[in-house]
Chain A
Amino acid sequence: MISEKHFVLIIDDHPLITEAYITALNYYSKHNETVEFSIQTANDCDSGRELIKKVLKSKEHKYIVFLDIKLPPSRDGEILSGEDLGLLIRELLPNPRIIVSTTFNDNFRVHSILKNINPEGFLIKNDITPLELLETIRTVVNDPPYYSKTVIKLLRDQVVNEFILDHYDRKILYELSVGTRMKDLPKLLPLSIAAIEKRKRNLKLMFNVRKLDDRQLMVSAKEKGFI
């Protein structure tokens, strides 16, 4: 059997986690001799970007990227998180298999990552066990995708719900849920305050909450898996 060589990039700011991935990869290749991993690591956005550019030389290789979302941003401020890095990977690397591994489990971020990066593997760190990690590696290597439980649940909720929320609605809900003020929203969205107000009113109608109650809206949106 010809051994398959995969270039693995681990971009995570926790050495312990990086180590765990390496352990898992090694464990996997040990038990599957046809699979070989060449592992390189980075621990922030800057080094991640450099690493991507460095490995780009060999175009025929298969790439597997373990990508953390919460990363120290790049110094030039261009890349703020793993999400941006993911976009860069998609742009630069040929057919990369991205395994997003994050501690975020809020629906908005998950949805956003799914939409933007469309990763081959999506792990919510808290969900997985060593066995699951191995299973992820196996699935991603052989037949992606692999989504961990929280992600699948979210997808299920959204299919069930008949609400049609566009990106802006989600963003508004998300921003409100993290305590962004209404007056600051126009800076984050290409919408006027009046348009945002209108969207908010519609959201309240949709979620069937009283006009006044933003908090209730947040609770309801969270229940229905939008944030």
Chain B
Amino acid sequence: MRFCGNPPKAAGSPLSPSKNDSVATWIRASKNDSYALQERKQFLIKAYHIVKASQIDTLQTRKLTTMAYQNLKLGDTTLFKNRTNEALVLATRINDSFAMGDAHWNYASYYTNRAVYDSAYQNFDTANKYFDKSGYVYESANMQYGMAFIKGRFKDYSGSEVLTFMAIKKFKQIEDFKSLYSCYDHLGALQNDIQEFDKALYYYNRSLEYLREFDNNQPEYEASLNNIGNTYLKKEEYSRALQKFNTLLKNDRLKLDNKDSYARALDNRAYCKLLMKDTLHVAKQLNEALHIRDSLDNKSGVIISKIHLASYYTYAQDSVKAITVAKEANGLADEIRNSRDYLESLSILANLDAQNSAVYLKRHIEYSDSLQIIERKIQNKFTRIAFETDEYIQETERLEGQKVWISIISIVVMLVIALLFLIWRQKVRHSLLLFENEQQQVNEQIYLISLKQQEKLENEKIKERNRISEELHDGVLGKLFGTRMNLGFLAIEGDKKTLKQHQLYIDELQTIEKEIRDVSHELSDNIDSSQINFLRIIHDVLENKSKLGGFEYEVDFNESIDWHKINQIIKANLYRIIQEALQNIIKHASAKNVSLLFNIDEEKLVVEIEDNGVGFDTKQKQKGIGMKNMKSRLKKLNGVFAVVSKLKGGTHLKIQIPI
């Protein structure tokens, strides 16, 4: 048994369909061999209609290929071809490389089944390209194994070996032990073919190592033992070969479970014994094996059995019977195009049938020549396909390179654009910020100017008042006094009443003087109002807010603070901060007492605002803009800001501003 079968085709695509997926259900039903063949075909048609009715996407395309393969398995080649073609067209359209590979795999399986190996090879190759490109390791390895298998069949041993090793690398990567077993088994077969029996044994043993790694390995184990036995047989180590076959046949269940395998072992053991010149039961066993194989319609098995029988009859010197079975084998081999057995049967006949020996030899030579030509042709074809593949790879690489360049360039361009955009945005933000800042400065300036203006106005007012006061005091009052005095010394002539009246008016004048003086004093009575301006404002705002918030307040100014020295901007901002803080207290704290403290500490103005309200969690992020405003104002003044607060423990706000 040289090649033990086609590479296994995966039952489903990697996209596992969901359980309630009707398509998947129908496909599953079609795989169930408890249904009649017709029914199963019907299921597939139903699945097909559902797929056709649905939207074309990756999932549906992949289902189509699965379905097609199922059709093939059920022997419906026409439907298989149609479905696969359809899937291929769809996959190409939506550029699904897995589905494309899968479709080609379908074809490869189909051609392998039909023994059209060059087409099969071509399809394996194409499928491999698609799988390899899109990283489907298992599938790609399988394709390579398929190709290796075909190459081995056409005696391109080294090519087959190379491909097998490539597949092995991939299978090892995904730890697929069953496939690894198959690969090593195949390698063993290759070595067997080129008579390197030791190497073959080595590979077979390797394959057995992998065999132990997976379950349900009985059939593979039997095949392996058989292969190893055959190798020893060829190596003419008959006792070892016999040992292997005996091991196989020791299994009593073999005859029941795997008749084919049993027949093979039985046949091989008998042949081995024959070669050891031990003819006991050999004829019987060879015939039993032949019988079983015949009943199983295993034609290649039958051929081998018959060739072995021919050998037996030759040994038994029953040349008539030997020729008969050899002819039968030859006919059968011709029928199923088994060239190896055909050639072997021909050489046996040439030996046995002395009369027709020349004819057989001639036929043998002709056939093996033609076989060689075909093999060479096909090998050439493989080479061409490989070359095309190389070209394809080169082209792909070139395109890939182009793609890489295009992507790099586009990424760079995109980055540049993004960068430009970022710069632009930053610029806009910056200018916005600048504008805001400018506006703020202008506002502040306006405020300062108005403050100064007010102060000036106030000063002028005071000056004017003083002037009036002075004028009244020094000028008018003096003149009035002089007038009154002089009037008093005037000897007024008249009666007593007139004199009394005169005195009365003089007294009245004195009263007027007094009034004017009082007015003058009041006018000049201006304590430096600007000096306490700021404190006054703070007082006012506290007064106002305390009424709003219903709290008592207490304020303490350190006397040594020279408010004149403190920048108006600081005062203006401080005022706003205090206002904001008081606003916060009103809004959130529900405090009963608020105290405000102004102090000076080494060139730093220290303001403390304390309340006995509900407090808040300082760790929590503040949503309000109140705090933010205070912070930003302080930042402008290079000030520091500290809040100590506990829930239900009041809040203590400490502000430090360098002056």
A interface list, Cβ under 8 A from B: 12-21, 23-24, 27, 68, 70, 103, 105-106, 125-126, 129-131, 133, 176-183, 193-194, 197, 200-201, 211-212, 214-215, 218
Contact = CB atoms under 8 A, between A and B. Distances in A.
Given A103-B478, A200-B559, A211-B556, 13 more contacts: A12-B478, A17-B478, A17-B481, A20-B482, A70-B474, A130-B485, A131-B488, A176-B527, A178-B524, A181-B531, A182-B562, A211-B559, A214-B527
Nearest to B565: A183
B482 A182 contact: no
Interface string B522-565: 00111110111001000100000000000000011101101011
A173 to B, nearest CB: 11
Contacts of A178: 524
Nearest to A214: B527
Nearest to B556: A211
Secondary structure of the A side of the interface?
helix
Nearest to A17: B482
For the complex of A and B, the 10 pairs showing the least CB-CB separation, nearest first, are A16-B482, A130-B488, A20-B485, A17-B482, A14-B478, A23-B489, A179-B526, A125-B481, A20-B486, A126-B513
B478 A125 contact: yes
B482 A14 contact: yes
B249 interface: no
11 contacts: A16-B481, A16-B482, A18-B482, A68-B478, A103-B517, A129-B510, A212-B532, A212-B535, A212-B555, A214-B527, A215-B532
Given A126-B514, A179-B526, A103 B481 contact: yes
A219 B135 CA distance: 99
B410 interface: no
Contacts of B150: none
B564 A183 contact: yes
A50 B539 CA distance: 55
Contacts of A105: 517
Contact of B488 (A12, A129, A183, A218): A129
A215 B527 contact: yes
Contacts of B206: none
Contacts of B488: 20, 129-131
Nearest to A21: B485
A197 B564 CA distance: 14
Interface residues of B, number: 40
Contacts of B45: none
Q: Which of A17, A183, A214 has the largest number of chain B CB atoms within 10 A?
A: A17
A128 B208 CA distance: 144
B407 interface: no
Contacts of B481: 14, 16-17, 20, 103, 125-126
Interface string B453-483: 0000000001000100000011001110111
A211 B557 contact: yes
Contacts of B448: none
Which residue, B510, B517, B527, B565, has most C-beta atoms of chain A within 10 A?
B527
Contacts of B527: 176-177, 179, 214-215, 218
A125 B517 CA distance: 11
Given A103-B477, A126-B510, A20 B528 contact: no
B166 interface: no
A201 B559 contact: yes
A68 B473 CA distance: 13
Contacts of B526: 179
Contacts of B462: 179
Contacts of A180: 528
Contacts of B473: 70, 103
Given A13-B478, A14-B479, A24 B528 contact: no
B292 interface: no
Most buried by B among A16, A18, A125, A126: A126
A126 B485 contact: no
A134 to B, nearest CB: 9
